[in-house]
Amino acid sequence: QEKDSGQVEFLQAAREVLTSLEPTVSKHPDFVKAKIYERIAVPDRAILFKVPWVDDSGEVQVNRGFRIQFNNAIGPYKGGLRFHPSVNIGIIKFLGFEQIFKNSLTTLPMGGAKGGSDFDPKGKSDGEVMRFCQAFMRELYRHIGPDTDVPAGDIGVGAREIGYLYGYYLKIVNQNASVLTGKGLEYGGSLIRPEATGYGSVYFASEMLGTRKQEIAAKTAAVSGSGNVAQYTVEKLIQLGAKPITLSDSNGTIVDESGITAEKLAYVLDLKNYRRGRISEYAAKFNVPFFANKSPWDVIKEQNLKVDLAFPSSHENEIEAAHAEAMVKNGCFCVSEGANMPTTLDAVDIFLEKNVLYGPGKAANAGGVAVSGLEMSQNAMRLTWSREEVDQRLQGIMKNIHQSCLEASEAYGAKGNYVVGANIAGFLKVAKAMLAYGIV
């Protein structure tokens, strides 16, 4: 703890994981002897680099670049790149640490990593984003490879950024290799990858609801964010007959109580992915209320908005204890985390105490990295699976993750607690591999 002081988000994630691993200690004295618990919390390596680039006015800009390769015991390092001004080493370490367990849960051979930069793509021209991505790859290329480390997207890194990053890698390395996932369909991407995290989070919610003989259809849902994860969460909710009623961005939240329809979602995709506009424009276009500088969880708390399901799909720590109390009071009984660690530890305790079906991010949002793993398999085989085939595999993986969480929670005395289940199920495979390697 002392050595990582100041890395608030990392300490929060490490505390959550290590606390829920406590029941494994007495059953695995070999892990204790080999100091697996201490070793898993230290990254294999952290690469920090400068990213100098030139903006449209000819001025030189400098950003910080990060790639933290946390653990490759069960496969090549794998995890997204985040471009956001809040990015620092503590945030990248928390995300990389979580990724170890998430990737293990998918059952695919992938280690854990994360990277990114404090660069803010918002308000930048396409040319500026391209020059930044090229400068970022100018350093990153020497640390990645199809069998070493395969980054993907995250906040601020979508199809456009992956295209620029991959195009520059190809130019300087001259190898058409599977070094990034989330690629365009024309150059090695997988069908369903853009949809995977959002779809997966709804599939996970559906599995949780099944344990109480309930289903997604006819439920009212709050979704936060309006980026990649939020967009496809809403799409799957609509397809399964639910009524999603909120979307947000860093400027505020729209509430559409009549329900966001497929037509309205098409408007959001164009607004966010091509026009790069703000979600407040939805309010003006469809004549619904906009709550400036509020999250959907603030609106539930302040307006007593009733919802059955919640899909936090924006950023870490967006749901605090007072939000959790208000959500339960207003009928919310199932939370499936599309975002990474969107719920504070206090708020998680409230959901667990109140018997809310609570799916933590490392299980509920693992569909994205799972389909990234399938993209790597397709690249290695040099073939492309159909939309139906990838979607079926995704559904199968989400079902299996849900089942392993439930089984691990039961085996370790916390039946139905998906936090304990996800952490233990993800941990055991990695820990056994680390043990097999000896002290390295």
The catalytic residues are 114
Name the one range near ligand NDP by CB under 6 A: 151-159, 215-223, 281-289, 414-422.
151-159
Phi/psi of residue 181, nearest 5 degrees = -120, 165
* Residues near ligand NDP (CB under 6 A), total: 22
CA-CA distance, 354 to 211, in Å (whole number)?
16
Nearer of residues 219 and 315 to ligand NDP, judged by Cβ: 315
Quick one: which H or E segment has residue 249? strand 246-249
Can you tell me which of 228, 344, 409, 423 binds ligand NDP, judged by CB under 6 A?
A: 228
Q: Which residue has the tokens 């059952």?
A: 107
Can you tell me which of 206, 214, 314, 343 binds ligand NDP, judged by CB under 6 A?
A: 314
Give me the helices (H) in 240-307, please: 262-273, 280-286, 296-303
Can you tell me which of 115, 153, 188, 359 binds ligand NDP, judged by CB under 6 A?
A: 153
CA-CA distance, 200 to 269, in Å (whole number)?
19
Q: What angle do CA 158, 163, 167 make, to 5 degrees?
A: 155
Torsion 106-107-109-112 (CA) sign: positive
Q: Do 81 and 154 contact (CB within 8 A), yes or no?
A: yes
Q: What is the β-pairing status of strands 243-244 and 112-117? A: unpaired
| CA proximity to 156, closest of 129, 131, 183, 174 | 129
Q: How far is the CB of 316 from ligand NDP (least distance, A)?
A: 6
Q: Does residue 156 bind ligand NDP (CB under 6 A)?
A: yes
Q: How far is the CB of 226 from ligand NDP (least distance, A)?
A: 4
Q: Is 153 annotated as a binding residue?
A: yes
Site map (CB under 6 A) of ligand NDP, residues 326-365, x = contact? ------------xxx------------------------x
Residue whose CB is nearest to ligand NDP in the complex, by number: 227
Sheet (strand 243-244) strand order? 243-244, 220-223, 309-311, 334-336, 357-359
Q: Do 367 and 196 contact (CB within 8 A), yes or no?
A: yes
Give me the helices (H) in 190-261, please: 193-210, 228-239
Work out the end-to-end distance of the chain between its first and last CA atoms, rounded to an integer number of angstroms.
22
CA-CA distance, 203 to 402, in Å (whole number)?
10
Q: How far is the CB of 175 from ligand NDP (least distance, A)?
A: 25
Nearer of residues 108 and 434 to ligand NDP, judged by Cβ: 108
Q: How far is the CB of 379 from ligand NDP (least distance, A)?
A: 17
Q: How far is the CB of 105 from ligand NDP (least distance, A)?
A: 12
Tokens of 433: 């591999």
Nearer of residues 65 and 194 to ligand NDP, judged by Cβ: 194
The interface with ligand NDP within residues 241-260 (CB under 6 A) comprises: 249-250
Q: Within 10 A of 4 (CB to CB), how many other CB atoms are there?
A: 15
Can you tell me which of 229, 237, 260, 335 binds ligand NDP, judged by CB under 6 A?
A: 229
Q: How far is the CB of 364 from ligand NDP (least distance, A)?
A: 9
Can you tell me which of 313, 344, 379, 404 binds ligand NDP, judged by CB under 6 A?
A: 313
The interface with ligand NDP within residues 196-225 (CB under 6 A) comprises: 197, 225
Q: How far is the CB of 165 from ligand NDP (least distance, A)?
A: 15
Q: Is 102 annotated as a binding residue?
A: yes
Q: Which residue has the tokens 């073939």?
A: 383
Nearer of residues 20 and 314 to ligand NDP, judged by Cβ: 314
Name the one range near ligand NDP by CB under 6 A: 39-47, 137-145, 313-321, 403-411.
313-321
Nearer of residues 212 and 285 to ligand NDP, judged by Cβ: 285
| CA proximity to 195, closest of 221, 157, 155, 230 | 230
Residue positions forming the annotated binding site: 78, 99, 102, 153, 197, 228, 372
Residue positions forming the annotated binding site for NAD(+): 197, 228
Residue positions forming the annotated binding site for substrate: 78, 99, 102, 153, 372
Task: Give the footprint of ligand NDP on this chain (CB under 6 A).
Answer: 153-156, 158, 197, 225-230, 249-250, 313-315, 338-340, 365, 368
